[in-house]
Structure 1
């Protein structure tokens, strides 16, 4: 069996209307931080596909068990995920050396959804495509039959990668390879490096930080005309929260945060943040914008010490409101963000 490896955004920006005081108070609350797990794990995931009332379709976590590959002990982390159906879908966080097993359940009563990942390793039977494309089999969940996908977070897979539907479609002629990722069937897998360290820009200095010292992961999907966002808060035991469209991202002052920027749709976008710089991947070059194309990714880690606005600097998307705020609270839980000063960009 052949092993397939796929290595799988503006003018004047006006701040979203938010209550910065309430945001700051929320940021100030802190619980025990999630610790890195030392042994490799098998991620045993039951993931549903559900049709929403607004003509969108989404993945949702039904059950998520971590099984230690050394001592066979298990941990149920299902409660870390929102109990409502999120867009983007649930983020999977793994380490190099982990295995991921996703049993996809079609809860719509129609169609044949799948999961196709970038970045992780898998055999052809877990490609998440139809036989017309992969020449082997149809790999999707029917209304009566779930389908199980197996991924391997092997050496060299570290990064943040999109996964999405590749089979559902709405083609009147029957089968379609395009999938329905743009209506909600998309999410991300974050694979942390085996050595537990990532590049970061801290106080203007390129350095490496321990993954266990990251306080939050922000996951931002650049769609054709909006950002879709979610976060993982490791100070709250790894709580996953869906943030919606063009979300306000919040962080405690001097906390370490990682941005996972990914693209879904068919357009190129130039992601930019005012007041914030980060490292161009694989270099010590400091940047504050990055061009990102369909199903591409861009990841950076910084210390949260400055309020900012993130946006697609295309004028058309600016006028359409494709932007959001990054709000940093001080040590008393108060935001110092001035909407006119900090969240407007010429």
Structure 2
């Protein structure tokens, strides 16, 4: 079927699979069968529907959390564009208070776990043009072509974004956070002005997918260990633009997200486990360094002191905070532009 836009609240879908329940889909088919066939079909319908619903409920219990997310894209005071979290519910529990009440650069960091399911709706509050769409294109997680968040010229199906919000225009995406998707992934607009997106205007954010195992590999100075995700005191999300870092901090206990601005000062207590998430949003090759620290190169048992990161590539690592240091983009031209910041570690457990 052709993708359907909807301008009414509750009417948006990302595919015909979510437009109707299993019961409605079966019920619609019954009325094309006359006479006795209809009666027999009704009996089979109720039996199979009950079995299907029961199986779906059992599956829900075994699988991950269900996330219902609504975001809006807005213009900032300085003329940039940014995403704002409107609402985020996890299995019916509202966690929206974790996010800023303002549209921020970078955008909200969406934290998931392998096995989760996500229904994300984007609204377009950028009213520069009545036919100008804004979308959410995500990396890393699984989805069908209807949730790609691109223009028809790319996906060959439909323009998959939201038009300016004049009374409730939406576009909804469905993500499957399948096994094997653990990692740090960017999301960004892919429809504004050109199919290249508008991440250079501020419409970008991050999805963190924690492993289903609940543990990560970490460096403790010169040794490697496995740590529970719950032991991480802070997550630092750093976006490498062409001339600066943009930062976001997430508190491990409260889960509160704090936008840090450009080339931010990162803080930690000595002995705390902290995790860095690096995403390159620009067009150049970057070389990240955290002076005096070494960390595990993901997927290996190798300790490294620097990492080359190309456009839209990502890199994440966990360390124990042992002392203050500078972080920087050591690529020569980026270093000359002043792409550096401070990692300040206060006294605490050794």
TM range (shorter): 0.7 to 0.9
Q: Which residue of structure 2 aligns with residue 121 of structure 1?
A: 142
Write the mapping of 1:134-145 to structure 2, written as runs, cut at 5 A. Answer: 134-143=155-164, 144=166, 145=169
C-alpha separation in 1, matches of 2:148 and 2:296: 32
CA offsets per residue over residues 106-130 of structure 1, 9 Å max, x none? Answer: 0112320100000000010000001
Q: Which residue of structure 2 aligns with residue 96 of structure 1?
A: 114
Q: Is 1:49 aligned to 2:73, yes or no?
A: yes
2:268 corresponds to which of 251, 262, 279: 251
- Aligned to 1:265, the other structure's residue is in SS state coil
CA offsets per residue over residues 244-268 of structure 1, 9 Å max, x none? Answer: 0000011111111110001102111
Aligned length: 284
Structure 1 or 2, whichever has the larger Rg, is 2
- Aligned to 1:141, the other structure's residue is in SS state coil
C-alpha separation in 2, matches of 1:199 and 1:189: 19
Q: Is 1:40 aligned to 2:61, yes or no?
A: no
Q: Which residue of structure 2 aligns with residue 107 of structure 1?
A: 125
- Say if 2:151 and 2:195, in contact at 8 Å, map to a contact too: yes
- Aligned to 2:69, the other structure's residue is in SS state strand
| Larger relative contact order, structure 1 or 2 (CA cutoff 8 Å, min sep 6) | 1
CA offsets per residue over residues 190-218 of structure 1, 9 Å max, x none? Answer: 00111111111124211111111111111
Q: CA deviation at 1:55?
A: 2.1
C-alpha separation in 1, matches of 2:255 and 2:346: 20
Q: Which residue of structure 2 aligns with residue 30 of structure 1?
A: none
Q: Which runs of 5+ in 1 are unaligned?
A: 2-37, 68-73, 170-175, 333-346
C-alpha separation in 2, matches of 1:64 and 1:282: 31
The runs of at least 4 consecutive aligned structure 1 residues that moved more than 4 Å come to: none
Write the mapping of 1:196-207 to structure 2, written as runs, cut at 5 A. Answer: 196-207=214-225
Q: Which residue of structure 2 aligns with residue 11 of structure 1?
A: none
1:213 corresponds to which of 203, 217, 231: 231
Q: CA deviation at 1:39?
A: 6.8
C-alpha separation in 2, matches of 1:204 and 1:279: 10
Q: CA deviation at 1:53?
A: 2.2
C-alpha separation in 1, matches of 2:63 and 2:146: 27
CA offsets per residue over residues 101-160 of structure 1, 9 Å max, x none? Answer: 111000112320100000000010000001111011110000142100111110110000
Q: TM-score, normalised by structure 1?
A: 0.79
Write the mapping of 1:230-249 to structure 2, written as runs, cut at 5 A. Answer: 230-235=248-253, 237-249=254-266
Cα RMSD of the aligned pairs, angstroms, is 1.6
Q: Which runs of 5+ in 2 are unaligned?
A: 2-61
Identify the range of structure 1 (323-332 vs 49-58) with the bigger mean alpha-carbon deviation: 323-332
Q: TM-score, normalised by structure 2?
A: 0.79
CA offsets per residue over residues 24-55 of structure 1, 9 Å max, x none? Answer: xxxxxxxxxxxxxx972111111000011222
